[in-house]
Amino acid sequence: MTEYSARAKEMLARQKIDWDWCEKGYKSLETVITHNFLIGGFSLKAQFNPGRFVSTTAKVDPKSIKERKCFLCLEQLPPAQERLKYRNGFQILVNPFPIFPEHFTVPKTAHEPQKIEGNFEDMLMLAEDLGEDFTVFYNGPKCGASAPDHFHFQAGTRGFMTIEGDFEALRIEFSIAGREVGGGAEALRTEFSIAGREVGGGDAGSEAKVGESTYGVRVNGAGGKAKAGTGDKRLTVNAVDDGVRKMLFLEGADKASLASGFYKLLEKFRVLTDTPAGEEPLLNVILWKTGNVFRCVIFLRAKHRPARYFAEGADRILLSPASVDVGGVGIVPVEEDFNRLTPEALQEMFTEVFISRELLARLL
């Protein structure tokens, strides 16, 4: 357990005793109901969690944001809320409305807008400092962040989101393209494109057969499992379409290579989606470190909320997809809507909010 992981856990234990909001929020997890679904090639859990009603229904339009006080600014934090000082101007806070058994919000102290460009290095740092106990995630300002005006990450219990356990299988079965970059300085150089090839750790681009289940990249043998050491600057990127979600999988041990590759992909996604300069394309990001290797999933979104979110009567399902939802645990705060969930309804809603397979293929 890392130092920051231990300190965060200790803070949570104290807050459950000292802060009534926190005590009530984590107590409510005991009454959460979960259903398991298999949709296409991946597993998805749906969680009835009434404690998340405010976040799920948050008004994030510019007018509403302007008219309310920022709940992540220091002066608006509840007096009972502890603040764990973190690096680079961040602080770690217990989330009193949890999804995870251990759920933290990690905002900047300064009031700065939610924007991943220029901040992904801090996300890598946080994932490393929290170690094997936690997974870090980011919601874009128009894609699930309930405070789009104040920059923040979140962190939750490792292994809670199904995509963490499914990462390897999804990459094997559903990669439509892949690349490996052999050195960090020139990330995503076209000469390292290995779509439809396997690299065994020797000459990048050497011919090898790829199993019928995958068109893409497998690194160092079966399953695309990168055996990267601390000095390894290789970056593996896969475009993954599991039939519903359109994603980019990044894996590597070198933080500089990961950040360089991430920003290049972010800019290409912005251009391909005609997102105005200075604005962020719709995305969610999940990141964790296992051993010496970072794994990052970028969820490529076409819209924030599906039509069913706004529907009335029996057609309505109040599910507002953000990182945790697209990461495999769909949060529904209304029991009636939760009971209406079916694999078909979930597939419809998720497919609606992701980009097309054709656009995904153009990213690599």
Rounded Cα distance between 287 and 163, Å, is: 11
Confidence of residue 63 (pLDDT cuts 50, 70, 90): confident
The answer to whether residues 157 and 188 belong to one domain is no
- Using one digit for the tens of pLDDT, what is the confidence trace for 186-220? 444 332 233 332 333 333 333 322 222 222 333 33
Query: Region 132-148: what's the mean pLDDT?
Result: 96
**What integer best gives the mean pLDDT of the chain?**
85
Residue 332 resides in a domain: no
Identify which of 252, 278, 5, 237 has the alpha carbon closest to the alpha carbon of residue 124.
252
- Using one digit for the tens of pLDDT, what is the confidence trace for 152-161? 999 999 999 9
Residue 336 resides in a domain: no
The answer to whether residues 182 and 215 belong to one domain is yes
What is the reported pLDDT for 119? Answer: 98
The answer to whether residues 23 and 155 belong to one domain is yes
The answer to whether residues 151 and 170 belong to one domain is no
Rounded Cα distance between 58 and 49, Å, is: 15
Looking at the structure of the chain, the number of domains it has is: 2
The answer to whether residues 150 and 267 belong to one domain is no
The answer to whether residues 147 and 253 belong to one domain is no
> What number of residues does the chain have?
364
**Strand spans (E) along the chain:** 33-39, 42-48, 84-85, 91-94, 103-107, 134-139, 152-157, 175-181, 197-199, 217-219, 235-241, 246-252, 283-290, 293-300, 329-332
The Cα-based distances of 320 to 40, 57, 238, 297, 361 in angstroms read 21, 8, 26, 19, 26
The answer to whether residues 140 and 288 belong to one domain is no
Residue 310 resides in a domain: no
- Using one digit for the tens of pLDDT, what is the confidence trace for 70-85? 999 999 999 999 999 9
Residue 47 resides in a domain: no
Residue 326 resides in a domain: no
Rounded Cα distance between 342 and 62, Å, is: 33
What is the reported pLDDT for 227? Answer: 43
The answer to whether residues 150 and 21 belong to one domain is yes
Examine the fold and report which residue of 128, 162, 196 is the final residue of a domain before the chain moves on.
Answer: 162
CATH number of the structural domain spanning residue 100 = 3.30.428
Of 132-141, 219-228, 270-279, least confident by mean pLDDT is: 219-228
Please state the pTM of the whole predicted model: 0.86
- Using one digit for the tens of pLDDT, what is the confidence trace for 232-255? 789 999 999 999 999 999 999 999
Confidence of residue 56 (pLDDT cuts 50, 70, 90): low
The three-point CA angle 39-41-45 to 5° equals 45
Q: Which domain holds residue 80?
A: 3-33+54-162
